[in-house]
Copies of this chain bind each other. A is one copy, B any other.
Amino acid sequence: MTTVVEERDRSLLTRVQHLLHAQATIGPAVVLLVSVVVFALLSERFLTPGNISLILQQVAVVGTLAVGQTIVILTAGIDLSCGAIMVLTSIVMAKVAAETGLPGFPALLLGFLVGTVCGLLNGMLVTRLKLPPFIVTLGTLNVFFALNLWYSGSATIRGTDMPSLLLWTGQTFTVGGTRITYGSIMLVVLVAAMAFVLKNTAWGRHVYSTGDDLEASRLSGIRTARVLLSVYATAGLVYALAAWTLIGRIASASPQAGQTDNLDSITAVVIGGTSLFGGRGAVVGSLIGALIVGVFRNGLALAGVDVLWQTMAVGVLIIVAVSLDQWIRKVKA
């Protein structure tokens, strides 16, 4: 008798598995949903519009970094230098504007340029020297961080010394009584745009294909080196956007920021279901991944859980979320 019941259970489970498999980002989405429900039950403060907006603000920086990190990981790369690029960029934007009185728009553009150039440097090292991205970015992480400390003189630049455009991402507008920052909106728009590009343009296909099988892509007539270069450069540009969000969020530019953001952004990407082996994944998943971590940290905090156990919970979360995703993917179409 038991076997029969087990059999039926298994087939139900299998059916759920199949259902979830149909849509790639549904695994992370389920995890997000479940955690939201659980935390809403634990604390009545959790599911208020204000708190939701807060979580969006809190994940804005890591979420933006995760967008850049996602396209790098899609090409079977990894970017340990993303946090360092972001901080360097934020310092350059803010310091140049504060010291030379450069207006906001050119300062922003300068920052975008710096981010892109840093990314391009990573890309050049990956494509020209043919080094594994892990090693390249482990190296440039140190280089960019040192440049940041050197250029900033380790001094924080205050928001009050900057043109207001640099702080725009931290400004809020009110929707139905809830304040939302432009930085959060920028993240959502960025994710949508990147998802569109990845899905609907030739470049997007080439990114997936390059990550899937580099040599096959090259033989198929894709300029893989150019694709990789453009991916790292775009990622650098996205990190510069993250820098802008960061400045808005803390209303200043701090050379101390972002030191753990590389692992945090990778965490968001892998929880979001993108494969570290390249070629499989989606940028929407990474946003969801960042939200999951944000929901956990915020929800545990509201529930009064000590930060120690929050750390542990994030560790367990990574393993559980990725295992679940793996399990869902195991079904062949």
Contact = CB atoms under 8 A, between A and B. Distances in A.
Interface of A: 80, 125, 129-132, 134-136, 138-143, 145-147, 149-150, 263, 266-267, 270, 276-277, 308-309, 311-312, 314-319, 322-323, 326
A74 B315 CA distance: 25
A289 to B, nearest CB: 12
Contact of A267 (B125, B132, B138, B318): B138
B147 A312 contact: yes
Interface of A is mostly: helix
Given A146-B309, A276-B132, A139 B326 contact: no
A156 to B, nearest CB: 17
A318 B135 contact: yes
Contacts of A129: 319, 323, 326
Nearest to A327: B129
Given A150-B308, A270-B135, A142 B314 contact: yes
Given A142-B311, A146-B311, A146-B315, 9 more contacts: A125-B319, A131-B326, A135-B276, A135-B322, A138-B266, A139-B319, A140-B315, A147-B312, A149-B311
A322 B139 CA distance: 10
Contacts of A139: 315-319
Nearest to A311: B146
14 contacts: A131-B322, A131-B323, A134-B270, A134-B276, A135-B318, A135-B322, A138-B267, A141-B315, A142-B312, A142-B314, A143-B315, A143-B316, A145-B315, A146-B315
Contacts of A143: 312, 315-316
Given A138-B266, A139-B316, A311 B131 contact: no
Nearest to A129: B323
Contacts of A131: 319, 322-323, 326
